[in-house]
Every structure is written in C-alpha cells, then in structure tokens.
C-alpha cells in the first residue's frame, strides 16, 4: 500500500484532502499522485452553450492553475514523493481514469455546507468503478491519525476485502477494534477477521452489539466517540447509480461521520 491518489480541486474540502493524503503518504512511506480536475461545465439550454461553456471552462482552468501553483510550492516543501496530473472533465470520471495503479484514493465524505461538488456521488461512482479503497474525510479534518482503527464489521465480503487491502495501514495502529452490530445477516464472524489480522501481527479486540432497534450507523458513531477512534474502516456495496449505489448505513456515515472513513467494495 504505497500509491496514494489525491483528488485536487479548489473547493471547500480540498485542505482536508491534501493534509490527509500527505499524512498517509508519510505514514505508509508511499508516493502521492495529485489529480487536478478542471470541471467541464454542463451545457444547459442556450445559456451555457457554445461560447458560454468555453468562458466558464476558461475561468475554471484559470482557478485551477492558481490552485496548482499554490499546492506545488507546498508539496515541494513537504518532503514526500509526489507527481501531478492535470485533467479536464467530470470529477469522478477523471479520478477513475487515473486510478489504475492507486492503492488508496483520498476524497471527502461530504461537504457539509456546500451542495457542490456532491462528494457522496463522487465517492460512490469512484468506489464502484475502481474497486479501490477510498479515504473519505470530513471537510474540517486537520490531520490523519492512524493510531486507533475501528473496523465496522458486518460480515460481508466488502468489509473483508477492504480489511485485507488495508492490512499495511492497520499494522501501523496501536489499537484495532472490530465492532459488529449484529442483525442476523452476517456471513463471516468477527473472530475470523481477528484471526486473519493476528497472522499479520495485528492484535485486534472484538465488541459485539446485539441490535434489534437502533440504526447501525448510529451505534457505530457512538462507539467511535466512546472508544476515541481515529478512523473507521468499513465495506460498501451497491447495484446502481448514485442513491442506489450505497446502502443506507454507508450514506448516513458519509453524511455524518466525524472521523475519516475508509470504504471499500
């Protein structure tokens, strides 16, 4: 797990993404690829057709040029290995097209005060197309800490795959908690996950909540606060576009989580 891909775009979530990506690159001893997306304006009716679209795109590219200049100076002083890719198009599509060699993709979970870009949409499309773990960070995130990892275990193949892919990161944690909110649909028990991790030198504790009433995401977030988790690793699954792509628990975690989420398929 060495190749970290960062979505670069001048929006309210960028600082949290950049700092998280830098922290992960250092923690993992990896390489950071910055994908700077100038968003192609959508043509709507006659207003943004032809010359109008060209003007909007020119403005967008100028903003991203200034953004690139600022960030490149910062990256040069950060002491990490990095490279830069400039692309034009849709946020999700551009990341998907450049993510073939990525091990982790850094995005936002949701921009709380801004409807654009819709990071839940972006995250769902990228995750379902690339099948690479994504790190979805709150826009107020100041840094990424790897010390206390909570695995939200539902016994499905998606969380198993995500855990296996992220074993190098989990190995750097001081404490790992496998949390299961039991609802009867589990395919794999948390003890099996703990046994797998132990073979990689990771000693995880297990907590099982027998649940018949409360939404799983509410219980996960409560446990995050009580246990002081630095991040949550969980699986996601889907079968269609946007609002069908993530299950309800995943969508609500993306909307409300106060800690970074590592999501995989």
For β-strands 231-235 and 261-264, DSSP reports them as parallel
The domain locations on the chain are 3-137, 148-264
- For residue 61, the SS3 value is helix
What is the CATH class of 3-137? Answer: alpha beta
Three-state DSSP class for residue 18 = helix
Cα separation of 152 and 71, whole Å?
A: 34
CA distance 156 to 188: 7
Total length of the chain? 265
Q: Indicate the CATH number for domain 148-264.
A: 3.40.50.620
Domains 3-137 and 148-264 share a fold: yes
Cα–Cα distance between 250 and 132 in angstroms, integer? 16
Could you give the CA distance from residue 95 to residue 105 in angstroms, rounded to a whole number? 9
| pLDDT averaged over every residue in the chain | 89
Asked if residue 131 lies in contact with residue 265, where contact means CB atoms within 8 angstroms, the answer is yes
Ordered per-residue pLDDT tens for the chain, 265 residues: 999 999 999 999 999 999 999 999 999 999 999 999 998 776 544 555 566 667 777 888 898 999 999 999 999 999 999 999 999 999 999 999 999 999 999 999 987 666 677 888 888 889 989 999 999 999 999 999 999 999 999 999 999 999 999 999 999 999 999 999 987 777 789 999 999 999 999 999 999 998 768 888 999 999 999 999 999 999 985 444 333 345 688 889 999 999 999 999 8
Q: What is the pTM of this model?
A: 0.91
């Amino acid at each position: 797990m060495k190749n970290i891909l960062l979505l670069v775009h001048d929006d309210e979530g960028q600082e949290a993404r950049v700092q998280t990506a830098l922290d992960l690159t250092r923690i993992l001893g990896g390489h950071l690829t910055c994908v700077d997306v100038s968003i192609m304006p959508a043509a709507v009716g006659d207003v943004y057709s032809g010359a109008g679209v060209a003007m909007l795109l020119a403005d967008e590219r100028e903003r991203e040029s200034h953004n690139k200049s600022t960030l490149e100076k910062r990256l040069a002083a950060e002491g990490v290995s990095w490279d830069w890719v400039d692309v034009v198009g849709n946020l999700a599509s551009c990341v998907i097209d450049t993510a073939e060699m990525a091990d982790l993709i850094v995005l936002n979970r949701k921009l709380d005060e801004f409807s654009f870009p819709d990071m839940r949409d972006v995250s769902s499309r990228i995750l379902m197309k690339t099948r690479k773990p994504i790190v979805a960070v709150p826009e107020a995130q100041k840094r990424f800490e790897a010390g206390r990892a909570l695995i939200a275990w539902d016994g499905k193949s998606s969380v198993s795959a995500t855990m296996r892919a992220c074993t190098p990161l989990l190995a750097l944690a001081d404490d790992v908690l496998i949390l299961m909110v039991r609802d009867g649909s589990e395919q794999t028990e948390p003890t099996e996950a703990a046994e797998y991790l132990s073979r990689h030198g990771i000693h995880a504790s297990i907590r099982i909540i027998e649940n018949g009433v409360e939404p799983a995401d509410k219980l996960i977030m409560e446990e995050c606060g009580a246990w002081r988790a630095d991040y949550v690793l969980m699986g996601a699954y889907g079968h269609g576009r946007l609002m069908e792509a993530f299950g309800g628990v995943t969508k609500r975690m993306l909307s409300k989580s106060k800690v970074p989420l590592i999501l995989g398929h």
